[in-house]
């Protein structure tokens, strides 16, 4: 029996090594300029279409960036977050963490524009990666070259989203474990958290910090008391509809002020405050806050490229969806 158990562990380890090696090989298959010969206008089409939406509604920029993050953390960057539910399957986009995601109409419009010029060539997963980059750039954030060549996944399950997306109330141990499971470092956790420099949140994502943190009618001691007073003026205990800027005063501009807020104990979510509870993430927060974010843009660009390689499907696996919301 002991030998059988040892053999079982050994083979399980072999399987895990194989999966990680296979994912790594797939990630290395991505390259900048993947469509240069087959669809050379792809990036211009994506940027122009994305800009047409964000110029009218800048609040879509953080929504599209979040959509890419939620795609990559669940089954890898395979466009599975875009798939609609069916009578026999509840898809990722209908999982509780994804029910507030917006901007699917942007992806659909970009896909339609791309299909008109380059039919059945460009994956929805690649389109989402490009749209996220352009969304950030269009609100004064950094730009970066996006390695392309992803294929679209054929599986989308709400249970996978629930199991893989870190919640806004995650502590630092949970956050580090979540990011490490995707091959991302503790520094990259701190860097990508900086995406909270743009966007808004519904009150019920953090109101427990204001009114009932431990179930005793108390507040979160890690949150600045003066900020609690301000937030209470915007959010009642049962408010599920009002929204609050994550980075007050510059929530529509991608900048470095998020780290100053976190240093002042004014991060909106418990997951923001958690960055101060670990040496590596705390040092990154303090370094950016004290230097005016001197290297944040470069770090963010590099971290987005790395995140965009998580669990990708390449080669002949998966498919190129004709419509992003439905498997072919």
Query: Is 202 labelled a binding residue?
Result: no
Query: Is 255 labelled a binding residue?
Result: yes
Beta bridge pairs of residue 319: 152
Q: How far is residue 151 from each of residues 27, 28, 144, 310, measured CA to CA in Å?
A: 11, 14, 21, 13
- Classify 243 as helix, strand or coil: strand
Query: Is 194 labelled a binding residue?
Result: no
Based on the number of CB atoms within 10 Å of its own CB, is 14 exposed (0-12), middle (13-18) or buried (19 or more)?
exposed
Query: Is 186 labelled a binding residue?
Result: no
Q: Does 202 participate in catalysis according to the annotation?
A: no
C-alpha 269/C-alpha 227 separation (Å) is: 12
Query: Is 119 labelled a binding residue?
Result: no
Query: Is 197 labelled a binding residue?
Result: yes
* Tokens 């294929």 found at: 151
- For the record, the structure tokens of 301 come out as 């660009």
Query: Is 18 labelled a binding residue?
Result: no
Beta bridge pairs of residue 243: 202
Q: What's the gap between Cα 55 and its chain centre?
A: 22
Query: Is 247 labelled a binding residue?
Result: yes
Query: Is 134 labelled a binding residue?
Result: no
C-alpha 253/C-alpha 141 separation (Å) is: 7
| Percent helix / strand / coil, the chain, rounded to 5 | 55, 5, 40
Based on the number of CB atoms within 10 Å of its own CB, is 279 exposed (0-12), middle (13-18) or buried (19 or more)?
exposed
Query: Is 80 labelled a binding residue?
Result: yes
Catalytic residue among 18, 68, 70, 202: 70
Angle (CA) 276 281 286, round 5°: 70
Query: Is 74 labelled a binding residue?
Result: yes
Cite the annotated binding site for heme b by residue number.
196
Which residues are known catalytic residues?
A: 70
Feature table: binding site for Ca(2+): 71, 74, 76, 78, 80, 92, 197, 247, 255
User: Which residues are known binding-site members?
Assistant: 71, 74, 76, 78, 80, 92, 166, 196-197, 247, 255
Residues belonging to the binding site for substrate are: 166
């Amino acid at each position: 029996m002991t030998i059988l158990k040892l053999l079982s562990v050994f083979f399980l380890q072999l399987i895990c090594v194989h999966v990680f090696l296979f994912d790594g090989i797939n990630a290395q298959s991505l390259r900048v300029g993947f469509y240069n010969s087959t669809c050379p206008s792809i990036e211009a089409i994506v940027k122009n279409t994305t800009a047409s939406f964000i110029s009218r509604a800048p609040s879509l920029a953080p929504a599209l960036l979040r959509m890419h993050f939620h795609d990559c953390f669940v089954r890898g960057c395979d466009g599975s977050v875009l798939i609609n539910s069916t009578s026999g399957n509840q898809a990722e986009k209908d999982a509780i963490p994804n029910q507030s995601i917006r901007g699917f109409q942007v992806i659909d419009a970009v896909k339609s524009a791309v299909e008109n010029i380059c039919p059945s060539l460009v994956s929805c997963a690649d389109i989402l990666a490009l749209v996220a980059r352009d969304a950030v750039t269009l609100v004064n954030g950094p730009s970066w070259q996006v390695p392309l060549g992803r294929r679209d996944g054929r599986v989308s399950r709400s249970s996978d989203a629930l199991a893989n997306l870190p919640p806004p109330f995650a502590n630092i141990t949970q956050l580090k474990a979540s990011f490490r499971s995707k091959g991302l470092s503790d520094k990259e956790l701190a860097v990508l958290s900086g995406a909270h420099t743009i966007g808004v949140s519904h009150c019920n994502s953090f109101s427990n910090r204001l009114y009932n943190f431990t179930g005793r009618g108390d507040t979160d001691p890690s949150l600045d008391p003066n900020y609690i007073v301000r937030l209470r003026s915007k959010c009642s205990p049962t408010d599920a509809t009002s929204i609050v800027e994550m980075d007050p005063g510059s929530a529509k501009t991608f900048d470095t002020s998020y780290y100053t807020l976190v240093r002042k104990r004014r991060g909106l979510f418990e997951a923001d405050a958690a960055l101060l509870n670990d040496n590596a993430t705390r040092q990154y927060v303090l370094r950016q806050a004290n230097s005016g974010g001197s290297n944040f843009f470069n770090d963010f660009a590099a971290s987005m490229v790395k995140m965009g390689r998580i669990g990708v499907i390449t080669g002949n696996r998966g498919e190129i969806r004709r419509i992003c919301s439905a498997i072919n």
